[in-house]
Chain A
């Protein structure tokens, strides 16, 4: 009854195990979850920035902010490339990107708030703080991916998840710092 992404979010190890064993996947391979993420990004940016969405606005917002997807692929390399794998490289990336549900739910929530006229996501602090839950949730999914798809032990899975998390937040905070005028803005935002 639920999409594979949601099954992965709520039972990551069991769902990854089933996907590895069955070979089940989307028709578009890794491009399916990537295209959906780009669509979700475009719509959310349009809702937040303009409180409405047109084809043009959503497409241009998706085109603008989809630079985050290659960065996520780079971070994924830290989890996928080292050591052996139980599946092919392309299949590993496809399964990895199916773990986008926590951030998609975050975007859906932000979009709903914006449409309802309650978006206040111009503030750096709000963006950083509200990202804590999907960050932790994604780390749990990545650890399950490392154990089930990559066949690592518990400790190594945790290390890979931590490395992935560190890379993602390094990319994110570097962009925010550049956009906001310097690292001192991040420090100011996080200092009481």
Chain B
């Protein structure tokens, strides 16, 4: 047996072991105060776009992460999200919402529940009005620095349906933590019912739902999720499970069991991946049989 054959066997074995260990999280629906408490992520990117995973693989990863709802929000396009929703319609799994990260030099706004692409080359308030005209919701994305908050005047802040209070970059730098806090104060000062949103901004790397939103919805439907965000019935969770939001809603989420993200990586998955990686390395390095 040649070294190359051994490498192929390792590669195939690692992949098969990974396949056998890949089970979706078993997330039981839960309720509190007459609401469904849904695990949601309103800011996820997919392929084709700047996300790594195609819609079908992305939904499986979202399911492994225990998400019940997620919005696919690629930059300035909705084609990928509409394909994802169409693919998801005929199979069980998380609810897929069509979205767009409206990307402008002075702000990023996550539009969720829309049908067509929103023009990003306009002031933030006009973008939010366009989102509302499609019956969608507008969420201020990652207010980590002035580069992402400069575009909001007071009118835009009043029109927002929500703002990202937690995000993977929240604790990246002291300045970004301060910027998130300052922006939350700016929004809630003029818009007290704005929803607290936690998002992963998943592109590939990390996990969907790493930071997430607990949505207090009347029903387990897309329309009810949108309605809950519009009414501000949400709680944002950071990567450590710390909850942010109106005290009465935080209390409801705690009563339902609090933060409950499943473990998405374990030593078996890591070991299987390492074996597959070594197999790939071996196939690359080892000489192969040649024709002459």
Residues of A within 8 A of B (CB): 1-6, 22-27, 36, 39-40, 43, 45, 47-58, 60-61, 63-65, 101, 104, 108, 111-112, 114-115, 117, 119-122, 124, 176, 179-182, 184-185, 188
Contacting chain A: which of B89-97, B245-253, B269-277? B269-277
Residues of chain B from 248 to 274 with CB closer than 8 A to chain A in the complex: 264-265, 269-270, 272-274
| A47 x B277 contact (CB < 8 A) | yes
Contact of A2 among B51, B75, B285 (CB under 8 A): B285
| B292 x A61 contact (CB < 8 A) | no
| A43 x B291 contact (CB < 8 A) | no
Which residues in A have their C-beta under 8 angstroms from that of B147? 188
Which residues in A have their C-beta under 8 angstroms from that of B274? 115
Complex CA distance for A21 and B52, rounded to whole angstroms = 41
Contact of A182 among B76, B203, B206 (CB under 8 A): B76
Complex CA distance for A63 and B264, rounded to whole angstroms = 24
| A25 x B290 contact (CB < 8 A) | yes
| B103 x A182 contact (CB < 8 A) | yes
Which residues in B have their C-beta under 8 angstroms from that of A108? 277, 280-281, 284
Which residues in A have their C-beta under 8 angstroms from that of B57? 49-50, 56-57, 60-61
Which residues in A have their C-beta under 8 angstroms from that of B74? 179
Which residues in B have their C-beta under 8 angstroms from that of A56? 19, 22, 57, 60
| A115 x B273 contact (CB < 8 A) | yes
Complex CA distance for A114 and B276, rounded to whole angstroms = 13
Instruction: Name the interface size band of chain B.
Output: 35 or more
Beta-carbon nearest neighbor of B61 in chain A = A50
Which residues in A have their C-beta under 8 angstroms from that of B18? 52-55, 57
Which residues in A have their C-beta under 8 angstroms from that of B285? 2-3, 6
Tell yes or no: B205 within 8 A of A by CB: yes
Residues of B within 8 A of A (CB): 14-16, 18-19, 21-22, 47-54, 56-57, 60-61, 74-76, 101, 103, 105, 120, 147, 201, 203-206, 264-265, 269-270, 272-274, 276-277, 280-281, 283-292
B292 smallest CB distance to A (angstroms): 6
15 other contacts beyond A4-B290, A24-B291, A55-B19, with CB at 8 A cut-off? A3-B287, A23-B292, A25-B290, A45-B52, A45-B53, A45-B204, A49-B61, A52-B21, A52-B269, A53-B272, A108-B280, A120-B205, A181-B75, A181-B120, A188-B147
| A122 x B22 contact (CB < 8 A) | no
Complex CA distance for A101 and B283, rounded to whole angstroms = 12
Which residues in B have their C-beta under 8 angstroms from that of A5? 284
A1 smallest CB distance to B (angstroms): 7
| B286 x A40 contact (CB < 8 A) | no
Which residues in B have their C-beta under 8 angstroms from that of A40? 280, 284
Q: State whether A61 and B53 are in contact (beta carbons under 8 Å apart), knowing that A3-B287, A53-B18, A180-B103 are contacts in the complex.
A: yes
A47 smallest CB distance to B (angstroms): 6
| B54 x A43 contact (CB < 8 A) | no
Going nearest first, the 8 A-B pairs with the smallest beta carbon separation are A181-B75, A181-B103, A179-B50, A49-B204, A49-B52, A54-B19, A52-B269, A122-B203
Which residues in A have their C-beta under 8 angstroms from that of B203? 122
B241 smallest CB distance to A (angstroms): 19
B7 smallest CB distance to A (angstroms): 10
| B284 x A52 contact (CB < 8 A) | no
